[in-house]
Structure 1
Amino acid sequence: MKRSTLTFALAALLHAGLASAGVAVAPTDKNLQYTGRIDFSAPAAPVITWPNTAIAGNFTGTSLSVTLDDERGKNYFNVFIDGDTAAPLIIEAAQGTKAYEVAAGLPPGKHSFLITKRTEGEEGATTFRGLELADGGQMLAPPERPKRRIEVFGDSITSGMGDEAPMNARDDVIRDKNSYLSYAAITARNLNAELHQTSQSGIGVMISWFPFTMPDFYDQLSAVGNNDTHWDFSSWTPDVVVINLMQNDRWLIGDKHQLQPEPNDAQRVAAYETFVKRIRQLYPKAYIVCALGSMDATRPGSQWPGYIKSAVEDMRKHGDARIDSVFFPFTGYAAHPRLKHQRDNAAVLTAFIKKKVGW
């Protein structure tokens, strides 16, 4: 091959390589919009642990890839492109660092993405390492944040454990857990509110299926087990707080009698009220909704709604006018709520908040 021909061929290959090179978007890009309790102690490597933590943005370009560094290889994420929430691409995160192509062949012009963590702290932490756009692509100004804010403290019902599982199937398969479709997330979208989903499957107020409870856990920056990280409550303040706890207490105390000496009725009320009062101290202006259900803690004849009512009535008697209770009815379905039940619960809670807060 002549030297001139070889030079031309190499130049053509180099040009082709440059043409296909992507545009890197660092986690510190000002046009990325983060939602949730995220650890930004290393700004270029934010750590995501809580369910339904989200990253959103607008961009131009024909493709998008996401790079994640997952601690255990157990987390799942939704990726919604251009607002198509009915057809997410689901990332099954591999352990370690990996780039995931989530969109290709997009038409030229403006596009949007929303990434949400389907899973919980018990599946481990994920470090977000950034995005890559197609050659020539760029980030645009982020979407406008909702002005309303809701925080929900809860257990597996709130986290969406098994919500995408078939009605007659087991509900502890990690892939079937989708916090984006829990009643908490649906309610927040119904009300156009930004959501912090502070929840953990198996957790209770007095006892859990593991050696820590929500009073140990609620103030953590990281949701990976019981740890000494600390969330800055002054950094994000909700207008409405929903507390949906005590289902696990009912199972572990009411059925299994695993907390000994077993608390009497007054002690159960006091334990719940102590936690709610702590939330009130943190959020003095928020409207607090003390919820329960829709699993068997709200079945007919259950004592557990009464404990919550008693705590709320006592707080109201002592001057807290911005607190109330709501209960999601038990349908007789014994497993974790599926999508239908989550939507029904969201309808109840949405209507309740609209009435009480005027949204």
Structure 2
Amino acid sequence: MMTKNEKLKTYSLKEIPYYHIYGRTDETQDSLPLFWNGSGIEVNVTGSELWIDLDVDCSFHEPWIATELNGAFMSRQMLLPGSYSICLFRNMTFGVPKTMKFFRELQAMSEDDDCHVFVRGFRCDGEFLPVKEFKYKIEFIGDSITSGEGTYGAISDTDWLTMYMSSSENYATYTAKALDADYRLISQGGWGVYCGWDNDVRHNIPSCYEKICGLGLGKVNEAVGAQKNYNFASWKPDAIVVNLGTNDASAFNQSPFTIPETGETFKQHKNPDGSFMEKDRERFENAVYNFLKMLRKHNPGSHIVWVYGMLGYDLNLLIANAMNRYQKDTGDYNTAFLSLPNTTTETIGAHMHPGIKSHERAAKVLIEYLETILD
């Protein structure tokens, strides 16, 4: 039978002197909204026991979270709606500092306005100590690959469910850890730089990039700052990694998409010989070009590397063309295009997405590249 720890004290976030926040959020709120996958909070405590106080809700897509203790992966679980506490550890040696990281596994859910995870505070029987500082800052922007879809689950699992998405097993977090970097993930499965996988032009990442969490819709998310303009000066990345284009490539092979509200129909086309129609190729390249301009506008000192290839190389040349044109027009050569290893039958994961081995291979290439840039 578990005994109650009478020495536990409850702390709101405002009462805690030291903690580190991962991910874009609105820090003016009383609770900490965890909008994006990889977003979270890290504390360094001397207590023997630590609990986290949460407010959680969803209508269909249950959020998943994970924890790390002293840098080692410790747990992963689904959160059900409600206001409650979760024990992060107990019965550990009192007085010894312990670093606990609690973070969101699930991407921002544009399809579930009620989906949210808010951190209200902690309960602990020890002190809060300063947390470590990182050497670098890296922002990752992408689609389902950056949302870690398929890194959990069997290869035969094909259901589109939140439990198969993650930031704990992810090329982005592998890269950040190897480089001692604080990181932020901005991603949405099925979205592209010009359009989504199904030709829905509303589903493009640039359209939501300038908000704290442009994908956080609904009254609750908006009330805690999701749709506020993001303060780019508050966190200046040393590098920005863009992994977009996979869904844009899929759109060329899909049926036309009609926006219900307007009746407008959109379609990316191929010629009979399999090449891309000129006007549609230009639309994609212009989207890449314009997103590079947006990224540079808000991140003047960051190195920008566009990576592509974990699910095919269809748009390699188009991305490279857009990058070359951008560099020539602007003189901005603090940018690059990097091809990543394709996913194979040996490295595939659930839902026909890259598995852990594929993410590890991609991270290795990206780490080697960024080491030369950041050093």
TM-score normalised according to structure 1 size? 0.86
Distance in 2 separating the partners of 1:114 and 1:105: 18
Distance in 1 separating the partners of 2:164 and 2:188: 15
Residues 100-140 of structure 1, C-alpha deviations (whole Å, 9 max, x = no match): 11212112222220111111111622111111113xx2212
Distance 1:47 1:305, change over 3 A: same
- Equivalent residue number for residue 220 of structure 1: 211
Secondary structure of 2:370's aligned partner: helix
- Equivalent residue number for residue 317 of structure 1: 328
- Equivalent residue number for residue 344 of structure 1: 361
Segment drifting more, 326-335 vs 111-120? 326-335
Segment drifting more, 217-226 vs 332-341? 217-226
Distance in 2 separating the partners of 1:33 and 1:48: 13
Distance in 1 separating the partners of 2:178 and 2:184: 15
- Equivalent residue number for residue 329 of structure 1: 341
Residues 212-266 of structure 1, C-alpha deviations (whole Å, 9 max, x = no match): 3212111221342497432111111111111111111111234445462534222
- Equivalent residue number for residue 140 of structure 1: 129
Normalized per residue, the structure richer in helix is 1
Instruction: Give the 5 Å matches for 1:172-211.
Output: 172-208=160-196, 211=202
Distance in 1 separating the partners of 2:318 and 2:253: 13
Matched, 1:149 2:137: yes
Distance in 2 separating the partners of 1:219 and 1:71: 25
Instruction: Give the 5 Å matches for 1:283-298.
Output: 283-296=299-312, 298=313
8 Å Cα contact 2:45/2:129 also seen in 1:
yes
Secondary structure of 1:20's aligned partner: coil
Distance in 2 separating the partners of 1:24 and 1:133: 7
- Equivalent residue number for residue 12 of structure 2: 26
Letter in 1 for 2:234: S
Distance in 2 separating the partners of 1:264 and 1:139: 55
Segment drifting more, 19-28 vs 29-38? 19-28
Distance in 2 separating the partners of 1:293 and 1:96: 40
Matched, 1:79 2:70: no
Report the Cα offset of residue 149 of structure 1: 0.9
Give unmatched runs, 5+ long, in structure 1. Answer: 1-15
Identity of aligned residues (%): 23
Secondary structure of 1:67's aligned partner: strand
Distance in 2 separating the partners of 1:201 and 1:182: 14
Instruction: Give the 5 Å matches for 1:101-116.
Output: 101-110=87-96, 111-116=98-103
- Equivalent residue number for residue 8 of structure 1: none
Distance in 2 separating the partners of 1:260 and 1:173: 28
8 Å Cα contact 1:160/1:179 also seen in 2:
yes
Matched, 1:60 2:63: no
Matched, 1:98 2:84: yes
Distance in 1 separating the partners of 2:240 and 2:24: 15
Give unmatched runs, 5+ long, in structure 2. Answer: 219-225, 258-264, 269-278
8 Å Cα contact 2:17/2:128 also seen in 1:
no
Distance in 2 separating the partners of 1:340 and 1:233: 33
Secondary structure of 1:344's aligned partner: helix
Secondary structure of 1:158's aligned partner: coil
Distance 1:114 1:261, change over 3 A: closer
Report the Cα offset of residue 204 of structure 1: 1.0
Distance in 1 separating the partners of 2:77 and 2:88: 8
Distance in 2 separating the partners of 1:113 and 1:310: 44
Q: Give the structure with higher Rg (CA).
A: 1
TM-score normalised according to structure 2 size? 0.82
Residues 48-102 of structure 1, C-alpha deviations (whole Å, 9 max, x = no match): 11110121111122111111101217111111123322xx222421212111112
Segment drifting more, 241-250 vs 69-78? 69-78
